[in-house]
Structure 1
Amino acid sequence: MLILDDAEQARLKICTAESCTGGLLAALFTDIPGSSSVFERGFVTYSNRAKEEMLGIAGDVLADYGAVSEPVARMMAEGALEASRANIAVAITGVAGPGGGTRMKPVGTVHIACARENRAVVHEMIQVGEISRQDIRMAAVETALNLIQVQMR
């Protein structure tokens, strides 16, 4: 995978903080032999409590914005960066469906954020509609990979 090659050349370590993807991105990285030279760790923070305990997301932020929000995605990426020895952290939080969506946050809404040491956090929201759960999760992973590339430039 090109991202891992580029990260290795730049001597960067990557970590993930995943909610709706449940470790899918971490699994994708670790499927590649030799990824341990780049992939530092992954946090699966499916519940709000896990987001609070593992990534330091404040309960009032979760209450005010909800887990599926730009502020929470940004804080997840920052929290993962802080709680690891990585240089780049990517976070994914969303509604993969088939249930759980609302009018304001329908199924297929996913927030992805990527933090890198000494740089601004980048964020992207995707709304892919009510496609399959697996397709929503894969779209989120693809977007996360793109944001990692942005932060590696």
Structure 2
Amino acid sequence: MSEEIEIGGDILALAVELLSTCRQRGTLIATAESCTGGLLAATLTAIPGCSDCFERGFVTYSNASKSEMLGVPSWLIDKHGAVSEDVARAMAGGALTHSRADLAVSITGIAGPDGGTPEKPVGLVHFAAATRHGPVVHERVLFGDLGRTEVQRRSVAQALKMLASLL
């Protein structure tokens, strides 16, 4: 049984503020999402006028799609796992490489309810954000086993905050 995800006004407010700043600066955004399945892109595109700043979103749920769409080397996924700092960084870089965006963020994690291990438990999410000519910033967040929709919702909020911090 699936749960309906409600983004909430607090997260939409973060998205509105981010898009407003991007619009003022002429900055384009790209997203690369795994465990959120496009929820970040859906949040941004729910805001009228987002096409001024939202360039594109990549939903790369499978390992193969991470390689095919973003250029993440399959050996990197094999070595570190899809839920890792290395893959998150490569996803953000790939989103910049395969778009016209100036700013990109990636999300890869274990939303649950299954898939966790002692080393990588449910609720573990890796984020990376990058600008075209700057460093890649990484954050590892352990939200805990809050339920799939809450992990996804909090991941969207975290990604929006990371993008805003790079502006």
Q: Which interval holds the TM-score relative to the shorter structure?
A: over 0.9
Shift, 1:103, TM fit: 0.5
1:56-109 CA distance string (max 9 Å, x none): 011110000000000000000000000000000110000000000001000000
Shift, 1:150, TM fit: 1.2
Q: TM-score, normalised by structure 2?
A: 0.90
- Identity across aligned pairs (percent)? 52
Question: What is the aligned partner in structure 2 of residue 4 from structure 1?
Answer: 19
> Amino acid of the residue matched to residue 17 of structure 1?
A
Shift, 1:132, TM fit: 1.0
1:4-45 CA distance string (max 9 Å, x none): 000010100001000000000000000001000000000000
Matched, 1:78 2:131: no
| Partner Cα distance (1:97, 1:143) in 2 | 18
Question: What is the aligned partner in structure 2 of residue 90 from structure 1?
Answer: 105
Q: TM-score, normalised by structure 1?
A: 0.98
Question: What is the aligned partner in structure 2 of residue 44 from structure 1?
Answer: 59
* Pairing partner for 2:136 from 109, 121, 127: 121
* Pairing partner for 1:99 from 103, 106, 114: 114
Q: Which runs of 5+ in 1 are unaligned?
A: none
1:117-142 CA distance string (max 9 Å, x none): 11100111110111110000011111
Size of the alignment, in residue pairs?
Answer: 152
Question: What is the aligned partner in structure 2 of residue 33 from structure 1?
Answer: 48
Q: Which runs of 5+ in 2 are unaligned?
A: 1-15
| Partner Cα distance (1:86, 1:113) in 2 | 15
Structure 1 stretches (4+) deviating beyond 3 angstroms? none
Question: What is the aligned partner in structure 2 of residue 65 from structure 1?
Answer: 80
